Amino acid sequence: MKLNRDSDMSLTPHTAATQTGATHTAATLRTFRPATPPPTSGRVQPPSADTAFLRDLRAISVDRIVTPNQIVISEKADDQMVGFVLSGVLRTVKTFADGTEKAVNFIYPGGFFGRLFTPSGFTVEAARLSRLRCANRAEFERLLAAHPDIQQRFFEKALSDLDLTRTWFLDLQRKTVLERLATYVRMLSSTDRRGANGAAMLKLPISRQDIALYLGTTRESVCRAFRQLADQQVLRLAAPRSIEILDDDALDRIAGEPIAELSIERLTDADFFSAAHINRVS
């Protein structure tokens, strides 16, 4: 499957595309110098390790808006950008020689994008209108080195993500499209909100085309699988991007036994830095 992109322009360290296509000059990325902690006296407490790290990150980063399908990091270039998603969703894709693409993962608010130390072999692009906090890769590496506790957690999270990705793809390989979709919906249900009738109302964070890329199938197959689940009264298609789960037990039976416990939280950095926390430290 090949996506039609609105723009294939990679972000540069000094510009960000707006929703209208115009560009705004961003502040020059500054060299990282560890912040000197303020003197403490009385009941004044020093900032937490997380807050201190995020303050230092803010000093070397700029915020950018990217539009749907805009490339953030290209697999064909040695892009020097890394950062966090503040809002929206990014997709990581691999393009093959015949032009087809496979979505490897999606990066949700609070998630880290980019690769440290060496260039990435994948393209990162916007799945939706997104706001990013971006930093130069070398500066971010120096920032991590200055915060060893954060660096340790960061690397542990990367290894956990690698294990989770492996188990996710093993789980997908043994399932039909209907079972894969049920598994994905069950992942989303960990962040659900219950209606007055006890049914779970879910907002799909990505389009059906992106769901198809993630599940390794076509958009048409995803739409058919949604209709099957609706016909079986497992869920109701409340709106183009919203669904209501009517029968949790039936959804679990169709999804089958997972290889690993999967949830959207485990596929993001929500347990590392939340987008709200990053936004507060500005």
- Domains identified in the chain and CATH numbers: 15-170+270-280 (2.60.120.10), 176-255 (1.10.10.10)
Out of 67-76, 119-128, 156-165, 193-202, least confident range: 193-202
Residues β-bridged to residue 101: 95
Quick one: pLDDT at residue 2? 46
User: What's the average model confidence in pLDDT over 162-183?
Assistant: 84
Out of 95-99, 108-112, 120-124, least confident range: 95-99
Which residue type occupies 152? Answer: Q
Whole-angstrom distance, CA of residue 112 vs CA of residue 132: 10
- DSSP H helices, the chain, are 49-60, 137-146, 148-173, 177-188, 208-215, 219-231, 248-255, 275-280
Whole-angstrom distance, CA of residue 177 vs CA of residue 221: 7
The SS3 call for residue 7 is: coil
Please work out, in degrees rounded to the nearest 5, the angle formed at the alpha carbon of residue 147 by the alpha carbons of 274 and 131. 35
Sheet strand arrangement including 81-87: 61-66, 130-136, 81-87, 112-113
CA neighbours closer than 13 Å in the CB half-sphere of residue 69: 11
Count other C-beta atoms under 10 Å from residue 176's C-beta.
13
Nearest to 95 by CA among 158, 154, 172, 8: 8
Residues β-bridged to residue 131: 65, 87
Please work out, in degrees rounded to the nearest 5, the angle formed at the alpha carbon of residue 110 by the alpha carbons of 243 and 6. 70
Span 17-72, pLDDT tens digits = 333 333 333 333 444 444 444 333 344 344 577 888 989 999 999 999 999 999 99
Please work out, in degrees rounded to the nearest 5, the angle formed at the alpha carbon of residue 273 by the alpha carbons of 64 and 120. 60
User: What's the average model confidence in pLDDT over 257-269?
Assistant: 50
Task: Report the predicted TM-score, pTM, of the whole model to 2 decimal places.
Answer: 0.72
The pLDDT of residue 262 is above 70: no
Quick one: pLDDT at residue 14? 38
Span 59-77, pLDDT tens digits = 999 999 999 999 999 988 7
Quick one: pLDDT at residue 43? 41
Quick one: pLDDT at residue 132? 95
Q: What is the DSSP letter of 190?
A: G
Span 190-233, pLDDT tens digits = 654 445 455 678 888 899 999 998 888 999 999 999 999 999 99
The SS3 call for residue 131 is: strand
CB-CB contact of 21 with 66 (8 Å):
no
Quick one: pLDDT at residue 198? 56
